[in-house]
Structure 1
């Protein structure tokens, strides 16, 4: 059995166990779904409030900014489902559970992803898709046969950017005793990606494009469908940026695992 098929078989087992648990504690499941929906609603309401005080952001209309936000929610929901690494340092390094992970044949990152899978986060992706569809209709955008295929590729690239950056961040736990303080900062920075980067100064645009490329999880790929050709080439390289970010994250992770010497080290 190949490594991929083995991992997929593990995925099916973990999902089955997850569903059994949630069927036992259904209230917890729906509370989590409701909290995610409220969080998304508050962000959307904030955009509407902003446009009550200004007719546009830069040269972006309200419908365009809402469209970008809808796109932003889709890869973020998928990422939140499979890369729930927020408590990696505390659980796996401080409490020593990484030792258990390393005694098993599957790749360590795949195991940790599967142990922390969070399917309710996909609700956010579905809501984002609905917001995109409504904004698409409001803006009167053309719909070409290849748009769904392009959307899938763009979403995959954006999700890989999330995965690469947060895998790198989680892997810092192998090198530092307390890297978790960076997570709130990173989470705040990523929120800039759901707004047009053109409204920021050059330093922030450079940061969000080439250092922490969160502009590629929102505004740049969404610009492709909005026919904003000034950002067309940046839209088209979204998958490549995702592959590079994911490769860096995996390399940092593997190096950290190689460096790891156990809970007592």
Structure 2
């Protein structure tokens, strides 16, 4: 527990210093914010154009799909702030930098996350909130006083699912010298989580729920705020799935570290 508090404290100090530095150049900071928002709005325009021809997707309206998309962006942005190690194999295994990491007292995964952290991904959270707000206004949604707290819990649960899946994928690098691995394929699969799972066949639905549970980072938790009672149980399991899959990812990572024998071995 004390070690966990220390790690959280290190991350908090790093983020504080990062934003102090970025806000010293406010024009650059807000320029990045606007460019990120424009990128997400382009994706939003694509959804709107599609729904000009398809007014309903199963029982889901255009604005409900937009709301799900906005929610989907937020846990992904939170995850990518702290677990942005897409080049882990190239940098830490092939170049041998993992050897340096293992000589330090802080947990090796925390060190990799710190060195690869991308705090500017917080712009994705802002974009997601704006898109959700737009869709909520169009849908005339009402919220309970406790919904903001549930929102935070569900977002953290979704981010932990991402973290668990991609930590496990990164850990495969301890057993393979492939430069790309399977991360690009998984990234493509995760995009299915931003659409209602009941539009897919049973096999894809099963995969998105239990194998690569990306439905828990988009449609399931968003369905709660859309008052889709059919999916309430799944929404409630989002933080549980987050803890389970992050635990699995961490276990695979620790196993890989134990098997790691150093660069060139």
Q: Quick check: TM above 0.5?
A: yes
Q: How many pairs are equivalent?
A: 265
Return closer, same or farther for 1:5/1:90 CA change in 2, 3 Å cut-off: same
1:4 matched residue in structure 2: 4
What are the within-5 Å matches in structure 2 for residues 148-187 of structure 1? 148-178=148-178, 180-187=180-187
Shift of 1:52: 1.4
Partner in structure 2 of residue 137 of structure 1: 137
RMSD over aligned CA atoms reads 2.1
Secondary structure in structure 2 of the residue aligned to 1:158: helix
Using the size of structure 2 for normalisation, the TM-score is: 0.92
Give the C-alpha shift of residue 56 in structure 1: 1.1
Corresponding residue of 2:98? 98
Quote the residue 2:246 is aligned against.
Answer: 246
Cα deviation for residue 229 of structure 1 reads 1.0
Against the structure 1 CA distance between its residues 115 and 30, is the aligned structure 2 distance closer, same or farther, given a 3 Å change threshold? Answer: farther
TM-score by length of 1: 0.92
Distance (whole Å) between structure 1 residues aligned to residue 24 and residue 95 of structure 2: 27
Q: Return 5+ residue gaps in structure 1 as ranges.
A: none
Indicate how the Cα distance of structure 1 residues 16 and 142 shifts in structure 2: closer, same or farther if over 3 A, else same: closer
In the alignment, the residues of structure 2 paired with residue 125 and residue 78 of structure 1 have an alpha-carbon distance, to the nearest angstrom, of 7
Summarize deviations over 1:2-54 as a string: whole Å, max 9, x none: 31232234224533664577579989867755553343222212111110111
Of 166-175 and 138-147, more deviation after overlay is shown by: 138-147
Where 1:144 maps in the other structure, the secondary structure is: coil
After superposition, give the CA deviation of every residue in 1:95-142 in whole Å (9 maximum; x if it has no partner). Answer: 000011000000000011111111111111111112112211221222
